Chain A
Amino acid sequence: MAKQLVMGNEAIGLGALRAGVGFVCGYPGTPSTEILETVAKHNPGDVYVEWSVNEKAAMEAAAGAAYAGARAMVTMKQVGLNVASDPLMSLAYIGVKGGMVIVVADDPGPISSQTEQDTRHFARFSKLPVFDPVSPEEAFEMIGDAFDYSEKYQTPVLLRPTTRVCHGCASIEMDQSRKKITPEGFLKDSKWVIFPRLTYQNHKKVEARQPVLGEDFSSYRFNEVTGGGKKGIAAGGVSAAYAKEALAQMGECPKFFKVATPHPFPERLALSFLEGLDEVLVLEELDPVIERELVYLCGKHHLPVKIMGKLTGHTQNAGENSTESANAAIRSFLGLLQEESKQAPLPSLPVRPPVLCAGCPHRASFYAVKAAMKGKKAVFSGDIGCYTLGNASPLDMVDTCLCMGAGVTVAQGLHRIEPDAVNFAFIGDSTFFHTGIPGVINAVYNETDIVLIVLDNATTAMTGHQPHPGTGKTMMGEISQKVDIAGVLGAIGVGHVAKADPLDLKAAVAAVKEAAAVKGVSAVIFESPCIAVTKPGPTYAVDAEKCTGCKRCIRELGCPAMVLENNKVKIEPSMCYGCSVCAQVCPFGAIGGEAK
């Protein structure tokens, strides 16, 4: 079998298929998205795959499939687990029949997230086992192990890769074999119905299981203790790889504890590591989970070992690790000289904040709202998606951003305290379905004046264009009924629901003005597809004769296709999508369609 270059997320998806997964669902979120997409792409035909409306729905659907005996996998990013934490916590008591693996991708850095939260805490909190792969290769093997453990202990199991594992590629030998699982079906039993009495009984079982799992994990194949001496290094996840690389650079091999299952902690193996050591340096990303376990074990067993890491200030407590950071921490731990930087200082470099793409319809929507509210007191609550980038200058149209669906409800709180401001809530189509709808109902029910702006670009854009309930396409390749956003708003009781094309600025501005004048909840749905899912129109060009160099287009739109050359604006033809908004903004009619 030839080796293939596969991304960590693909490795997890392919590993799940190899393990006989029969049901896969999730909600897109960087860095987890490609796992589910891989299963859909390689679906042998008998695996049910869906993008669920949100992570809570996904977790519950996966639980149902696992109740019926299928191997089920649910995927999400770390903040998605917050949304799914309600079913997670209860499911930890109820358990499963078929193997169920909850894949939650953490994002140290963070590179593309709101938080630097650590899913290993959720494992401790819910008392569920968690696997933490060091590499794509290990993730490919580990997902199968996770299913086996899930069935062995009849409990859902977490797999927690991090960005560098998810989005790293490795050459992996793929065997095409596939475990055959035939679900028994759902057997009615009172054990599936959570009640206080059952919770009490199962709580005792879960607690009794913890040390048993810890013992089992002490001989798990990816947990290992190597080397010897008086000083030891403990590391988990990709940090173990950085630590090994740094040790190879400096030619040192102290005692090393690689932790692949941070919870329940493999106590027996950890004690064999701690035995005879004076000091331990812990390298891990996000929170000091391994560090606390080791401190606890030293206390519990009266071991005279000094544990160093985030809690003691020996390693950084925010941001991602690297070979360099591991190298510096280990050198200081081992009493070696720090490497001197031979590098001359760099000249000052341009800052490149991410921006809305050239031609992005969101730019036009934000511009229309801004123009409609010129001179008025207005607050713009944003949400999670590409349109968070509307905060960048010169649009500057995102005043708040918190979490999925929060824009709609934050706007309501703002408005109750400051009723003289017009409170706008921007929400994308996928986010609207995810957690937006209850917030709109809340405003209608409580009669709070907000203007809802739905940015409907017909896809889940930020994570790479996944279908959602409004697109009428499923991950099984079927065409389903489209859930109509205007219909939903009407049914909820939003009195004023208008649709507008944001690329027609005049009409868009008028629609916003009209909605803003309505008492109660009003909505404008800006419909224009994401440029990545539509064909570019004819490009636009600047007539240098007519361009006065006033820069109004650049100053007001901030389109990355527009540059200033010799005091005239130029449109980079390779980037222009022909949205025409700059032509509508130019006061001198200097921008025209169809490049010459």
Chain B
Amino acid sequence: MKNCMLAGVGGQGTVLASKIIAQAAMKEGLSAHTAETIGMAQRGGCVVSHVRIGEDAFSPLIPKGTADVVIGFEPAEAVRCLPYLKEGGAMVVSTKAVQPVTASLSGCSYDAQGMLAFLKERVNRLILVDGEEVCRQCGSAKVLNVALLGAAAKAGVLPMTLKQIEDTIREKLPERFLSMNLKALAAGAEAVTGGKMQ
């Protein structure tokens, strides 16, 4: 069984990313379960998607210490989900912080570099992605989710290949969003191979 956790802030598109992983696994004949955060938290709160691949998942939620990979859509949410990562597990994290509205109000933003440093000390396989740069290349901030999938698949930390993710995106996404998302997938993968990995 493989457990993949996606952690971000409401509006970043974790739900779609988790669906793509689950559907890519199903295309390989594997069974998949996901659990999503839907409701009030979708409006700027913390959101976590759980994806469990394989027959032996009883419950929808990934227990602590058992995630093979955590994809953090921003640094603090990645740290929040660190307790779920299993020993030796991998993390893919977008380095661009999403500050809560409360940070602008109080004038004290959280220290994103500090969060990343914390992760560097504790995660063996940490793949940092300059999410802001990748989104700039694609001309949209809405593709961070697919870009992170590209990075994760390219780094070999997902239970499927980049090609399998790409095929699933081609199959499941509406035509009008396809080219932008394929571009984001490639840019995310490129961010790992092209030396932009930090």
Contact = CB atoms under 8 A, between A and B. Distances in A.
B173 to A, nearest CB: 14
Contacts of A394: 105
B140 A574 contact: yes
Interface in B10-63: 10-11, 19, 22-23, 26, 31-46, 56-61, 63
A323 interface: yes
Contacts of B34: 5, 168-169
A558 interface: yes
Interface in A319-336: 322-324, 327
Q: Is the interface of B mostly helix, strand, loop or mixed?
A: mixed
Interface string A487-528: 000000000000000000000000000000000000000000
A168 B7 CA distance: 16
Interface in B68-112: 76, 79-80, 82-83, 87, 99-105, 107, 109-110
Interface string A559-573: 110111000000010
Interface size class on chain A is 35 or more
Interface in A348-395: 349-357, 386, 389, 392-394
B141 A574 contact: yes
A164 B63 CA distance: 14
Interface string A112-140: 10000000000000000000000100000
Interface stretch (A202-210, A218-226, A242-250): A242-250
B8 to A, nearest CB: 10
A575 B135 CA distance: 14
A349 B76 contact: yes
A564 B104 contact: yes
Contact of A327 (B39, B63, B110): B63
A248 B56 CA distance: 9
A564 B9 CA distance: 19
Interface residues of B, number: 56
Nearest to A113: B39
B156 to A, nearest CB: 23
Contacts of B23: 5
A322 B26 CA distance: 25
Interface in A449-500: 462
Contacts of B104: 554, 558, 562-564
Contact of B38 (A167, A241, A356, A560): A167
A354 B41 contact: yes
18 contacts: A30-B38, A111-B41, A167-B37, A167-B38, A169-B35, A238-B59, A245-B58, A249-B63, A322-B63, A342-B65, A346-B82, A349-B80, A352-B9, A354-B45, A356-B43, A394-B105, A554-B104, A554-B105
Given A167-B35, A462-B39, 11 more contacts: A135-B60, A168-B34, A169-B34, A169-B36, A170-B33, A171-B32, A352-B45, A352-B102, A354-B45, A555-B105, A558-B104
